[in-house]
Amino acid sequence: MRINPIYRQESRAGARSFKLPLIILGFNSVLAVVALLYMDSMIAQVRLTAEIQYSSFLGLYSFVTTMEFVLLLFVVPALTAGAISGERERQTLDLMLTTRLKASDIVAGKLVQGLSTVFLLIVSSFPILGLVFIYGGVTMADVGLMLLCYVVTSVLLGSAGLFCSAAARRSTRATVAAYSVLVLLTAGTLMVNYLAEGLGTMPQGNGAADWPLYLLLCNPAATFQTILNSQMGSGSGLTVIFPQLERITEIGFVGRYWWPVSMAVQLLMAAVFLWGAVRKTRPAGRGRRPR
């Protein structure tokens, strides 16, 4: 089995540095501290009232998964935004392109390397996520679906980060552009929905339009919240940010199968970002290389 040489080289270099262990330590430290503080507050409430509210223990799952998702939103663009622009700054990208490597090989290797780091973060958080099984109420299927959401989100943001890295000549600009794409996909699509609702509730308005809801298919946070709502019910996670999701049943087939459709849309967007990254990485005027 042929292993991508870029991925192999990046993996060896990463194994010798302290960057990866520090990322894992910081990621899981934040997650563990937040989870333990939440558990401590629940136990303190039980001691104060002498009543055990099972729903509050189930809220641990909602709280931990939401915190992990938010951390991934900030970590993934940082891991891929400087992948290709960094090679340009070190003047090693042109050397790579003079070898038998194609631009698609470079982009694929950088993507797999970035995603492998993200997957390692997700796997390393299993013990913390496993705290929810102490109290029950959450199945392995629920956790597996949530992990699938994490993976799709990581692929989308990682691909967007690579496109920005290939398009920009400096890592700083690439990082700013990658986080701008993140803000556009999350806050941007949400603001359009809020604006449409505001215009629809005006005296001359005809009610909130349905078309802005389709923009939320591109929003990984909306996909996460839809999955969490199906598992925990409304009122958990980011519900206060996405009240529009209560209306998705009004848009027919897409509303009934929101999270599978949204994941498919986001994977399609990731493919477009990767295609653009390959085009930006390939030298101008160069077509396909003969094998």
The Cα 216–Cα 257 span in angstroms is 13
75 and 124 in contact (C-beta within 8 Å)? no
Q: pLDDT at residue 181 above 90?
A: yes
Work out how many domains the chain is built from and give that number. 1
Tell me 205's DSSP state: -
Tell me 187's DSSP state: I
pLDDT tens per residue across span 102-149: 888 889 888 988 888 888 888 888 888 777 777 666 788 888 898 999
At 73, is the pLDDT very low, low, confident or very high (cuts 50, 70, 90)? very high
One-letter identity of residue 196: A
Inside any domain, residue 290: no
Average of per-residue pLDDT across 225-230? 85
Q: Is 211 exposed, middle or buried (0-12, 13-18, 19+ CB in 10 A)?
A: exposed
Query: In this structure, what token pair is assigned to residue 62?
Result: 């909602």
pLDDT at res. 60:
78
At 275, is the pLDDT very low, low, confident or very high (cuts 50, 70, 90)? very high
Q: Please name which of 160, 77, 103, 115 lies closest in space to residue 280, comparing C-alpha atoms.
A: 103
Inside any domain, residue 259: yes
pLDDT at res. 52:
64
Inside any domain, residue 103: yes
Residue 160 is part of which domain span? 5-281
Higher pLDDT, 203 or 179: 179
Inside any domain, residue 192: yes
Phi, psi (deg, nearest 5) at residue 202: -70, 160
Inside any domain, residue 287: no
Inside any domain, residue 289: no
pLDDT at res. 12:
73
Predicted TM-score (pTM) of the model is 0.85
The Cα 265–Cα 152 span in angstroms is 10
Inside any domain, residue 286: no
Any residues with CB less than 8 A from the CB of 164 and at least 6 apart, and which?
81, 174, 175, 177, 178, 181
Inside any domain, residue 186: yes
Q: Please name which of 183, 184, 160, 180 lies closest in space to residue 276, comparing C-alpha atoms.
A: 160
At 185, is the pLDDT very low, low, confident or very high (cuts 50, 70, 90)? very high
The Cα 223–Cα 261 span in angstroms is 9
